[in-house]
Amino acid sequence: MSPDAEFALATRQVEEGGEGLLLLPRRRRSLSNFLTSTVAGFFLFLILLFLVLPIIVIFPMSFGSASYLEFPPRGLTLNWYRQYLSDPDWRAATFFSVKIALATTFSATMVGTLAAIAFARGKFLGKSLFQALTLSPMIIPHIVIAVAVFIAFSPLNLSGNFFGFLIAHTMLAVPYVVLTVVAALERFDTTLELAALNCGAGRIRAFFSVVLPNIRVGVASGAVFAFLASFDEATVAFFLSGVEGKTITRKMFEDIDFNLTPVIAAVSVVLTVISLIVMGVLQAFNRATVSAQR
């Protein structure tokens, strides 16, 4: 084999994955080599188990028949799901959370997309300062935001209130939308917009028929993150919830602290499955768009 061909082969192996890399130059696998990779694989398995086990555990728990927590469960039942669905408190909390999350998704996507356009295409005084301020809710400890919002909103009757949550959660969700949409705008080939302008389209028409369809993946990802940022959010929800307006996360928080029943496992499974479905849809959407562009 010529050196060139060998190099090409090696490169292909490298591109296909790490295993090929180890074969360059091709050596016979020694016993010690085998042992190290086995030990390394074992440790990797342990770490992955650590990552996944706590999430897997809640599934059998939620179907177990005993009223106290037992693992592994002895009998199977849907009792805890029935209790969750028939309890008016849980239902109210779930409904409240879904309502807030949907409204937050809408408002954060609107506000964030508009701002992202200004950040990517506009020029104004203090732009970088504004960008830093927009992203700061991601970095500033959520406990500080939660306590601050609670103390400021209480006298305004905005605690335990839909609009109070909408404002707080939109503020927490906007950074995700801004990041994804700015990234999409930076990838967008602006000459396409110029072409539309040259063909006689106005600014607004060019935006809606050319720019927006091209950044829609970014906008959609931002919206999904915004939904989860609100729906899974627990810290601000813990402080801002009232007796009437209580999110599902706050209700869970209380129940974990005071009466640890398997109903919580059932709710956990519901929350997890919703998150996984939402993220899965986003991944599928991304993949479909990428393959359509090819």
Judged by CB under 8 A, the chain residues 100 through 129 that form the site for other proteins are 110-112, 114-115, 117-119, 121-124
Helices (H), 188-215: 190-198, 203-206, 212-214
Q: Is 284 in the site for other proteins (CB under 8 A)?
A: no
Q: Which of residues 168-197 bind other proteins (CB under 8 A)?
A: 168, 170-171, 174, 176, 179-180, 183, 190-191, 194-195, 197
Q: Is 256 in the site for other proteins (CB under 8 A)?
A: yes
DSSP state of 29: P
Q: Is 22 in the site for other proteins (CB under 8 A)?
A: yes
CA atoms within 13 Å, Cβ hemisphere of 205 = 9
Instruction: Choose, by CB under 8 A, the member of 39, 70, 102, 162 that binds other proteins.
Output: 70
Task: Please state the closest distance from residue 228 (CB atom) to other proteins, in A.
Answer: 7
Burial (CB count within 10 angstroms: exposed 0-12, middle 13-18, buried 19+), residue 276: exposed
Closest by CA position to 254, among listed 90, 35, 85: 90
Task: Please state the closest distance from residue 284 (CB atom) to other proteins, in A.
Answer: 14
Q: Is 89 in the site for other proteins (CB under 8 A)?
A: no
Q: Is 147 in the site for other proteins (CB under 8 A)?
A: yes
Q: Is 85 in the site for other proteins (CB under 8 A)?
A: no
The letter for the amino acid at 213 is P
Binding footprint of other proteins, residue count (CB under 8 A): 99
Instruction: Choose, by CB under 8 A, the member of 145, 185, 263, 266 that binds other proteins.
Output: 145
* Sign of the Cα pseudo-torsion (71, 68, 95, 225, in order): negative
Q: Which of residues 44-63 bind other proteins (CB under 8 A)?
A: 44, 47-48, 50-55, 57-58, 61
What is the phi-psi region of residue 145: left when phi exceeds 0, alpha when psi lies from -120 to 50, beta otherwise? alpha
Closest by CA position to 266, among listed 120, 59, 72, 26: 59
CA angle, 160 then 164 then 166, to 5°: 115
Task: Please state the closest distance from residue 23 (CB atom) to other proteins, in A.
Answer: 10
Asked if 189 contacts 171 with a C-beta cutoff of 8 angstroms, the reply is no
Q: Point out which residues pair with 64 in neighbouring strands.
A: 76
CA dihedral of residues 189, 193, 196, 202 (deg, nearest 10): 170
The letter for the amino acid at 163 is F
Task: Please state the closest distance from residue 209 (CB atom) to other proteins, in A.
Answer: 16
- State which residue, 77 or 235, has the beta carbon closest to other proteins: 235
Instruction: Choose, by CB under 8 A, the member of 198, 202, 287, 288 that binds other proteins.
Output: 198
Report the C-alpha gap between 63 and 116 in whole angstroms: 45
Instruction: Choose, by CB under 8 A, the member of 79, 83, 261, 275 that binds other proteins.
Output: 275
Q: Which of residues 199-228 bind other proteins (CB under 8 A)?
A: 225, 228
The letter for the amino acid at 136 is S
Q: Is 153 in the site for other proteins (CB under 8 A)?
A: yes
Q: Is 259 in the site for other proteins (CB under 8 A)?
A: no
- State which residue, 210 or 265, has the beta carbon closest to other proteins: 265
Instruction: Choose, by CB under 8 A, the member of 133, 281, 288, 290 that binds other proteins.
Output: 133
Instruction: Choose, by CB under 8 A, the member of 77, 214, 234, 285 that binds other proteins.
Output: 234
